[in-house]
Structure 1
Amino acid sequence: MAYARWKHILIESQRHALKAVDEWNCSNGNYSDFLTHMHKAWHYLLHAEFHEAKIDYHYKDAQTGQYKLIDGEPKAWDLEWCLKQRYTNSADPVRLNAELFVALRNKVEHRYEHNLKIVTGGKAQALVMNYEQEMVDHFGPAFSLADQLRFPIALQTLTAEGREQLQDAAKKLPKKTRDLVAKFEAAIDSDVLDDLKYDYRVRLVPIVGKKTDADLAVNFVNLDALTDSERAVMTKAGRTGTIITKVKHVETMNPAKLRASVVAERVEAKLPFCFSVHGEHTEMWRRLGVRPAVGSADPCITDARYCIYDEPVNTYLYTDAWVAKIVKEIGTVDKYRKFFGKDPRMKQVTTLPKQADPMLDERSMGKTA
Structure 2
Amino acid sequence: MAYARWKHILIESQRHALKAVDEWNCSSGNYSDFLTHMHKAWHYLLHAEFHMAKIDYHYKDAQTGQHKLIDGEAKAWHLEWCLKQRYTNSADPVRLNAELFVALRNKVEHRYEHNLKIVTGGKAQALVMNCEQEMVDHFGPAFSLADRLRFPIALQTLTAEGQAQLQEAAKKLPKKPRDLVAKFEASIESDVLDDMKYDYRVRLVPIVGKRNDADLAVNFVNLDELTDDEHAVMTKAGRTGTVITKVKHVETMNREKLRASDVAKRVEAELPFHFSLYGEHTEMWRRLNIRPAKDAPDPCITDARYCIYDEPVSTYLYTDAWVKKIIKEIGTVEKYRKFFGKDPRMKKVTTLPKQAEPAHDHRPIGKTA
Normalised to the residue count of structure 2, the TM-score between the two structures is 0.71
SS in 2 for 1:331: helix
The 1:243/1:62 distance shift into structure 2, 3 A limit, reads farther
Which one is further off, 145-154 or 329-338? 329-338
Letter of the 1:184 counterpart: F
Structure 1 segment 306-345 matched on structure 2, within 5 A:
330-331=333-334, 334-335=337-338, 338=341, 342-345=344-347
In the alignment, the residues of structure 2 paired with residue 135 and residue 59 of structure 1 have an alpha-carbon distance, to the nearest angstrom, of 24
The 1:338/1:8 distance shift into structure 2, 3 A limit, reads same
| Counterpart in the other structure of 2:58 | 58
Say if 1:333 and 1:343, in contact at 8 Å, map to a contact too.
no
SS in 2 for 1:95: helix
| Counterpart in the other structure of 2:218 | 218
Unaligned ranges ≥5, structure 2: 245-266, 290-303, 309-320, 355-369
The 1:336/1:41 distance shift into structure 2, 3 A limit, reads closer
In the alignment, the residues of structure 2 paired with residue 86 and residue 333 of structure 1 have an alpha-carbon distance, to the nearest angstrom, of 42
Letter of the 1:83 counterpart: L
The 1:347/1:181 distance shift into structure 2, 3 A limit, reads farther
| Counterpart in the other structure of 1:3 | 3
How far off its partner does 1:237 sit? 1.1
Say if 2:333 and 2:344, in contact at 8 Å, map to a contact too.
no
How far off its partner does 1:106 sit? 0.6
In the alignment, the residues of structure 1 paired with residue 341 and residue 56 of structure 2 have an alpha-carbon distance, to the nearest angstrom, of 55
Cα RMSD of the aligned pairs, angstroms, is: 3.6
Residues 176-198 of structure 1, C-alpha deviation per residue, up to 9 Å, x if partnerless?
11011111111111111111100
**Percentage identity across paired residues of the two chains:** 78
Say if 1:336 and 1:342, in contact at 8 Å, map to a contact too.
no
Structure 1 segment 269-348 matched on structure 2, within 5 A:
274=272, 330-331=333-334, 334-335=337-338, 338=341, 342-345=344-347
Letter of the 2:272 counterpart: C
How far off its partner does 1:224 sit? 1.1
| Counterpart in the other structure of 2:363 | none
* Structure showing greater relative contact order (alpha-carbon pairs closer than 8 Å, 6 or more residues apart): 1
Which one is further off, 38-47 or 330-339? 330-339
Unaligned ranges ≥5, structure 1: 245-263, 297-314, 353-369
Residues 86-132 of structure 1, C-alpha deviation per residue, up to 9 Å, x if partnerless?
00000000000000000000111111111111111100000000000
Structure 1 segment 43-192 matched on structure 2, within 5 A:
43-192=43-192
How far off its partner does 1:345 sit? 2.5
The 1:336/1:185 distance shift into structure 2, 3 A limit, reads closer
How far off its partner does 1:288 sit? 8.1
Q: Count residues with an aligned counterpart.
A: 296
In the alignment, the residues of structure 2 paired with residue 111 and residue 65 of structure 1 have an alpha-carbon distance, to the nearest angstrom, of 44
In the alignment, the residues of structure 2 paired with residue 351 and residue 59 of structure 1 have an alpha-carbon distance, to the nearest angstrom, of 78
The 1:134/1:243 distance shift into structure 2, 3 A limit, reads farther
Letter of the 2:84 counterpart: K
Letter of the 2:347 counterpart: R
Say if 1:94 and 1:197, in contact at 8 Å, map to a contact too.
yes
Say if 2:272 and 2:347, in contact at 8 Å, map to a contact too.
yes
| Counterpart in the other structure of 1:197 | 197
SS in 2 for 1:55: coil
| Counterpart in the other structure of 2:36 | 36
In the alignment, the residues of structure 1 paired with residue 23 and residue 57 of structure 2 have an alpha-carbon distance, to the nearest angstrom, of 29
| Counterpart in the other structure of 1:232 | 232
Say if 2:10 and 2:44, in contact at 8 Å, map to a contact too.
yes
In the alignment, the residues of structure 2 paired with residue 62 and residue 275 of structure 1 have an alpha-carbon distance, to the nearest angstrom, of 63
How far off its partner does 1:334 sit? 4.5
In the alignment, the residues of structure 2 paired with residue 185 and residue 132 of structure 1 have an alpha-carbon distance, to the nearest angstrom, of 24
| Counterpart in the other structure of 2:365 | none
In the alignment, the residues of structure 1 paired with residue 130 and residue 161 of structure 2 have an alpha-carbon distance, to the nearest angstrom, of 31
How far off its partner does 1:349 sit? 10
The 1:3/1:44 distance shift into structure 2, 3 A limit, reads same
Residues 289-316 of structure 1, C-alpha deviation per residue, up to 9 Å, x if partnerless?
9xx97999xxxxxxxxxxxxxxxxxx9x
